[in-house]
A = this chain, B = another copy of it.
Amino acid sequence: MKPQLLKGTRDFLPEQISKRKYIFNTIEKVFKKYAFAQIETPAMEALATLSGKYGDEGDKLLFKILNNGDFLEKADENALTTRNSYALASSIAKRGLRYDLTVPFARFVVLHQNEITFPFKRYQIQPVWRADRPQKGRYQEFYQCDADVVGSDSLIYEAELASIYHEVFKALGISVDIKINNRKILFGIAEAVGIEDKFMDMTVAIDKLDKIGADGVEKELLERGITAEQAKLILEMLSVKSHQELKAFFKEGSEGLKGVAEIESVFQLSKVNTGLDNLKYDVKLARGLSYYTGCIFEVALDKEVHPEITMGSIGGGGRYDNLTGSFGMPGLSGVGISFGAERIYDVLEELNLFPADVIDQAAIVMMAFDDQSLEWAFYVGQMLRNEGIAVDVYPDPGKLKKQIKYAADKKVKYAGIIGEEEVRTKTISLKNLISGEQMAYNLETLTELLKQEK
């Protein structure tokens, strides 16, 4: 049979693994500095845990795992007779694949509430699965990378998460805008206009401002039953340059003012980190997800620095108030952020920002001219490995051409060449495969050289 890869899935070759690990390690290092601890949850969750959490669309995109054994024995007879796939599925599949990291995390927090310390700061880097139609840049199996704190409503955490974004992207060499807004401010706008009942309609329209412009939003607001006068006031508020300006529109004690105060606190705390000059208030930032209740974050490339790249957001998050409610633990406030690792990979690739030494190569490939020489070549290799140096040994003695090609294909810098003469004199002919230079070393001087280059 011909080997095949399922559509929407990928193999990762060594070079890709090295680059992916570079991204994840950079992020993890910062997470740890901010005292976030890693957890993992299983790929398989009960479908009862996952169903109904992602809307009707999400439910359709869940991968369901067929029960093992004679699964038809307990199948829904009616669904079978009427050939109703949807109704049948729940009777023949009780497991599903993780669709995101958030719902399993909520399940985890409730299940382990007596084993963890609140506020609980966790990060999680694991694949998720979605039965989306595969297309360029959209996979059915991809990694998510989340950090969340649950069990506190302190704005300290908003400031920490903004700093984490800042530090990670700085370390990766990507210039970004970290946009912040607050759901309470968005609600305050609805409040100020007197359309609290149309808050979600308004938010959905605002969310499209970047795409369809002010005129487009106005049109959409009118279509959603908001008057022209109300729409005008909304657009006026959306044109402010800072959260401070919004105070003029909001009444004492309003949600809107609370939102402004929260943003002010986050900016105040963030000033501490002198490097954090790219946290920017953006009144237009709404994000589609309806479960946010406080601050909202989104990270985008700084268009002035990276004008050549068109790329959606590479990070996002916010505060939510009821993550664990559906698992019987209401009232737990949390805030979290997510890194779009797959997109970050593409950005680093496009900007050529992966470090030159990102790929783990052996320092040297040992090569032998004949069987007798191979033993000394192998011995040298083992001695170097004992010193912590990564060594490859070409297994088939003989002509050098093939062996040099092997080393060059793997982008290894040095060839350690062994023939009769080297065995007799206990030396190694070291060839630099970049410069072409060749020189004799003994084991001691070779070890020294390779250790210095590490």
Chain B residues whose C-beta falls within 8 Å of the C-beta of A46 in the assembled complex: 4, 6
Which of B13, B34, B35, B73 has a CB less than 8 Å from the CB of A116?
Answer: B13
- In A34-57, the 8 Å CB interface with B consists of 34-35, 37-46, 48-49
- Please, how many angstroms separate the alpha-carbon atoms of A107 and B2 in the complex? 9
Q: Is A395 an interface residue (CB 8 A)?
A: yes
A127 contacts B43, CB within 8 Å?
A: yes
Q: Are B360 and A395 in contact (CB under 8 A)?
A: no
Known: A80-B80, A375-B269, A385-B33. A38 touches B14 (CB 8 A): yes
A254: CB under 8 A from chain B? no
Complex Cα distance, B2 from A392, in Å, reads: 53
Tell yes or no: A319 within 8 A of B by CB: no
By the criterion CB–CB under 8 Å, are B65 and A38 in contact? no
Question: Are B3's CB and A129's CB within 8 A?
Answer: no
User: A445 vs B72: C-alpha distance in the bound complex, in angstroms?
Assistant: 70
Known: A13-B116, A38-B17. A5 touches B111 (CB 8 A): yes
Give the distance in Å from the alpha carbon of A33 to the alpha carbon of B6 in the complex. 33
Partner of A14, one of B122, B406, B409: B122
Q: Count this chain's copies in the assembly.
A: 2
Q: Contacts A14-B38, A269-B375 hold; do A396 and B154 have CB atoms under 8 A apart? A: yes
Q: Which residues of B contact A107 (CB under 8 A)?
A: 3-5
Q: Which residues of B contact A340 (CB under 8 A)?
A: none
Whether, in the assembled complex, A389 has its beta carbon less than 8 Å from a beta carbon of chain B, the answer is yes
The complex places the Cα of A9 from the Cα of B95 at a distance, in Å, of: 11
Answer yes or no: A273 CB below 8 A from chain B CBs.
yes
A410 interface residue (CB < 8 Å to B): yes
Chain B's nearest CB lies how many Å from the CB of A402?
Answer: 11
Q: Identify A88's interface contact among B2, B64, B72, B163, CB under 8 A.
A: B72
Residues on B with beta carbons closer than 8 Å to the beta carbon of A140: 44
A102 at the interface (CB under 8 A from B): no
Given A33-B388, A34-B385, A117-B409, also A11-B129 (CB < 8 A): no
Residues of B within 8 A of A70 (CB): 85-86
Q: A43-B127, A140-B44, A396-B152 are in contact. Are A111 and B11 (CB under 8 A)?
A: yes
Tell me the nearest residue of chain B to A141, going by C-beta: B42
B37 adjacent to A12 (CB under 8 Å) = no
**A156 on interface, CB distance cutoff 8 Å:** yes
Name the residue of chain B whose CB is nearest to the CB of A395.
B154
Query: Which residues of chain A from 265 to 289 have any CB-CB distance to chain B below 8 Å in the complex?
Result: 268-269, 272-273
The answer to whether A141 and B39 touch across the interface, beta carbons within 8 angstroms, is: no
* Interface positions of A from 118 to 136, Cβ below 8 Å from B: 119, 121-122, 127, 129, 131
Q: CB distance B4 to A35 under 8 Å?
A: no
Q: Which residues of chain B are near A69, meaning CB under 8 Å?
A: 60, 85
**A89 interface residue (CB < 8 Å to B):** yes
Q: Does A32 contact B (CB under 8 A)?
A: yes
Closest to A152 in B: B395
**Chain A contacts to B: CB under 8 angstroms:** 1-6, 9-14, 17-18, 21, 32-35, 37-46, 48-49, 60-61, 63-66, 68-73, 80, 83-86, 88-89, 92-93, 95, 97, 107-108, 110-112, 115-117, 119, 121-122, 127, 129, 131, 140-141, 152, 154, 156-157, 159-160, 163, 268-269, 272-273, 326-328, 360, 362, 365, 374-375, 378-379, 382, 385-386, 388-393, 395-396, 406, 409-410
A2-B327, A11-B111, A272-B375 known; 9 other A-B pairs, CB under 8 Å? A3-B111, A6-B45, A13-B116, A18-B38, A44-B63, A60-B68, A66-B93, A68-B131, A117-B406
Chosen A-B contacts, 7 in total, with CB atoms closer than 8 Å, are: A1-B49, A2-B327, A35-B390, A37-B360, A44-B140, A269-B375, A273-B382
Closest 8 CB pairs of A and B: A154-B395, A35-B392, A14-B37, A9-B42, A35-B362, A68-B131, A12-B40, A117-B409
